[in-house]
Amino acid sequence: MGRLTTHVLDTALGRPAAGLGIELFKLENGSATSIKQVSTNDDGRCDAPLLEGDSFATGQYQLVFQAGAYFDAQEIELPSPKFLDDVVIRFGISDQDQHYHVPLLIAPFSYSTYRGS
């Protein structure tokens, strides 16, 4: 059975992004419905999959990573407004039997993502 996971690494500080807020949305018919809010643990991961079992379904989703608030908590001095605040990643799940892993590498002025394993 499939599942959705994530992992956030702070490439500016060279460590996992602990305490970073994440919100997951399901996108349907032009609207976004919030289905989960979590924060990363000390390893930059969530304590459980974001979706699994009956809640894991094909469709379009959106992850919103609260990078600006995370960098504020790290007391990193940034210009106002911040170059990056919320990092939004929209993606599709097409196979309910697969593991979808959406990692995020963040720094105050850049980010990168990919479909991991």
CATH at 56: 2.60.40.180
Could you tell me if residue 113 is inside a domain? no
Backbone φ and ψ for 69, nearest 5 degrees, come out as -65, -35
Q: How many CB atoms lie within 10 A of CB 102?
A: 21
pLDDT at 102: 98
Q: Residue 111 and residue 14: Cα distance in Å, rounded?
A: 14
Measured in Å, how far apart are the chain's first and last C-alpha atoms? 14
| Tens of pLDDT, residues 51-84 | 999 999 999 999 999 999 999 999 989 999 999 9
| Tens of pLDDT, residues 9-42 | 999 999 999 999 999 999 999 999 999 999 999 9
Q: Which domain holds residue 97?
A: 3-108
What's the average model confidence in pLDDT over 47-51?
Answer: 97
pLDDT at 117: 85
pLDDT at 1: 81
Could you tell me if residue 116 is inside a domain? no
Could you tell me if residue 35 is inside a domain? yes
Domain count, the chain: 1
